[in-house]
Structure 1
Amino acid sequence: MDPRSEVLLRQAELFAGNVLLAGLPADDLLGRLPEAHGWSWHAGEQAQLEARFPGRSRFGTAPDAEDFTAAVLFLPKSRELTDYLLQALACRLPGRELFLVGEKRAGIESASKQLAAFGKPRKLDSARHCQLWQVTVEQVPAQPVLETLGQHFSLELEDGPLQVISLPGVFSHGRLDRGTALLLQHLDRLPSGHLLDFGCGAGVLGAVLKRRYPASQVSLLDVDAFAIASSRLTLAANGLQAEVLAGDGIHAAPSGLAAILSNPPFHQGVHTSYAATEQLLREAASHLQGRGEIRLVANNFLQYAPLIEKHLGPCRTLAAADGFHVYRAVRP
């Protein structure tokens, strides 16, 4: 059981009704709170919740239309995303209770101050290295419009400017990260066919691929609902059409790909995780056509070359700069 869920269950009587659990972990919490339902923006956790508790959690960037008696927000990593989520919940809870739970090392003490916009926050519990806070919503905010919260920036590329729209909580929010910038310089001579942007974030790489290779089918894949929404906005801002997929890992990708391009994630919340990239490298060959290739960028300290060699064959370093390597391998 996630320690944040354990803290809630210490005072389970507070959550006995039709409570919305926003950003809930994929544990047994819904089983212990049979009237509650969930809202998840992580495709992998949503899939696990749906398998165990069919119909009791939904995936997306906003809560569903169903009324709820109270809501609990499991603190996300991003302060900007926390602001949006709290407003999206508080606008539906006039005079009712909004709870915030999170780990101390994730900044729950600081984040609790964001509750003051709606009323007087109070700490209910501190245990399992977590805290639980509550506020009665007295100042009801307007319903936030997610699209208006996007940060817009333009990338000056060889074939013209690219407009990017980044939503709160998305990787490298509001700017181009150095790894992607390096990878963008090494997208020449890709094989013809279906191209995949794995871990698409705000859709920069996928949009560049579709513009540079307009005859190719391009798919963008991410685990996060806010990244999916960002990618769709970025594509639309540039008059481009591509398939955008929500899924947890490479198993959610199409097969028969000509190339997989990625600046793969290695952070999840406050924890560091390499699982998605390691799974990508283990299983990429099964999604690539013959002579299909993978190109990815990674921090120098991430030892991915041996994994690429093991599962795909000879690995070539296309570039090494600014603390990153760009790797290329071709499926036999």
Structure 2
Amino acid sequence: MAGSADTLFMPIENGEVPLGDGKWLYLGAKAIEGGFSDDLRAALVCEQSMRGPYMDLQMRGMDVHPSVESSTLFSGALILIGKHRAENEAMVARASTMVASGAPILIAGDKTSGVVPLRKRMSNFVGVDGSLAKYHATVFWLRNSAEIATNLNSNKTSPEGFKTSGGMFSAGKIDKGSALLAEHLDDSIRGDIADFGAGWGYLSAELLSRFNPRTVHLYEAHWASLEAAKENLSSYDKGQISYYWHDLAKEPVGKKFDWIIMNPPFHTARKTEPQLGVQFIETAAKSLKPKGALLMVANVALPYEKALQQHFTKVTQLDRRDGFKLLKAMR
């Protein structure tokens, strides 16, 4: 089904914005329904921080990276925004520093992304050349100028002692569910431990600062979050910690652990998807040693107990607070 990525490319496809001969930066990159033309395939340098869409673009033969760095300016930028305002504005500001002055910048998002308010805000300090709506999404385009980065770069608050940025889970404060899980960490959680959906490393930091596990393995699908985790855990024994840019819903783990801790995601865009948590549970069950244990936190409304009972011998609710439940499951 066509979506906001298809809308993003419409001004190029209908000739309103010429592609030209140079390289174009494509941030938040995703595939389009009909596939990319040879001209687009040759022109695009794609950035996608999420492991799943990154693998999809890689499979399609696109030039894709988890983070793009370039010593030369791009001829234009295409930006597919998501649900996080701070991340969206940071992407646009960053693109402005990476493309030539006066070069075209195209920005698109679906109706829940805030693309229309972003267009309105940007029109206060830079001229918008055009806009169109299709596939329940809107694209607008403009010419790059210094005012873009100046007006969209903003200071962001991170939890004390940690590095985070817009678009990361619970970037501005410690999530109540993760805090609940952290309260129940104790010295029985030892040996080889995995942190599934580790984000920017809060739970692993709690574990490492209070106890002495043999090894800690962080699995995270969001590249930028994992890079932040590396910085947040840089003071701990590097030989003790391993990091994996990994989609736990699609890629096998291939290791066995004594314990797994996790606060699994349950959203794709703005839609609740409990199946994501179920996939995390199934992967956790396959990744534990005999008599290994899973400690997980979840929103009280999410029906994970059935999946836990199918894959574990004993399931116990340890705590329930602030709309979250803490579950322990034994192999």
Report what 2:184 is aligned to: 186
Task: Please name the residue that 1:267 is paired with.
Answer: 267
1:135-177 deviation line (CA, Å, top 9, x unaligned): 101226669xx9x9663433xxxxxxxx222222111112111
Rounded Cα–Cα distance in structure 2 between residues aligned with 1:176 and 1:10? 40
What's the counterpart of residue 157 of structure 1? none
Question: What is the CA–CA distance in structure 2 between the aligned matches of 1:320 and 1:141, rounded to whole Å?
Answer: 45
Q: Deviation per CA, 1:172-195, whole angstroms, max 9, x where unpaired?
A: 112111101111111124443211
2:142 maps to 1:135: yes
1:221 aligns with 2:224: no
Distance 1:116 1:127 in 2: 21
Q: How is 1:160-199 mapped onto 2 (pairs within 5 angstroms)?
A: 163-199=161-197
Q: Which moved more, 1:31-40 or 1:197-206?
A: 31-40
Q: 1:302 to 1:259 in 2, by over 3 A?
A: same
- Is the 8 Å Cα contact of residues 83 and 114 (structure 1) preserved in structure 2? no
Aligned to 1:82: 88
- Runs of at least 5 residues in structure 1 that lack an aligned partner in the other structure: 155-162
Q: 1:8 to 1:181 in 2, by over 3 A?
A: closer
CA spacing shift, 1:91–1:117, aligned 2, 3 Å: farther
Aligned to 1:46: 54
Q: 2:122·2:148 contact (CA, 8 Å) conserved in 1?
A: no
TM-score for both structures, normalised by structure 1: 0.87
Contact residue 8 and residue 106 of structure 2 kept, 8 A: no
Cα 1:151–1:315, aligned 2, differ >3 Å: closer, same or farther? Answer: same
Could you say what secondary structure the match of 2:226 adopts?
helix
SS in 2 for 1:73: strand
Specify the alignment match of 1:69 in structure 2. Answer: 75
C-alpha displacement at 1:67, in angstroms? 4.2
Instruction: Give SS of 1:153's match.
Output: coil
- Does 2:210 correspond to 1:212? yes
- Residues 209 and 30 of structure 1: CA distance in aligned 2, closer, same or farther (over 3 Å): farther
Q: Is contact 2:319-2:326 (8 Å) kept?
A: yes
Which amino acid in structure 2 is aligned with residue 21 of structure 1? Y
Matched, 1:21 2:26: yes
AA aligned opposite 2:86: E
Please name the residue that 1:124 is paired with: 131
Shift of 1:296: 0.5
| TM-score, L = length of structure 2 | 0.87
Aligned equivalents of 1:115, 1:100: Cα separation in 2: 11
User: Percent identity, aligned pairs only?
Assistant: 23
Q: Hey, what's the Cα distance between the residues in 2 that align with 1:82 and 1:96?
A: 19
| Counterpart residue number, 2:36 | 31
Question: Aligned partners of 1:8, 1:142: CA distance in 2, in Å?
Answer: 21
Shift of the alpha carbon at 1:98?
A: 0.8
> How many residues are matched?
318
The residue identity in structure 1 corresponding to 2:29 is: L
Partners of 1:66 and 1:253 lie apart in 2 by: 38
RMSD: 2.6
**Residues 224 and 252 (structure 1), Cα distance of their counterparts in 2 relative to 1, 3 Å cut:** farther
Residue deviations 1:8-38, cap 9 Å, x none? Answer: 3433143634322211224456623323231
Contact 1:113/1:121 (<8 A) preserved: no
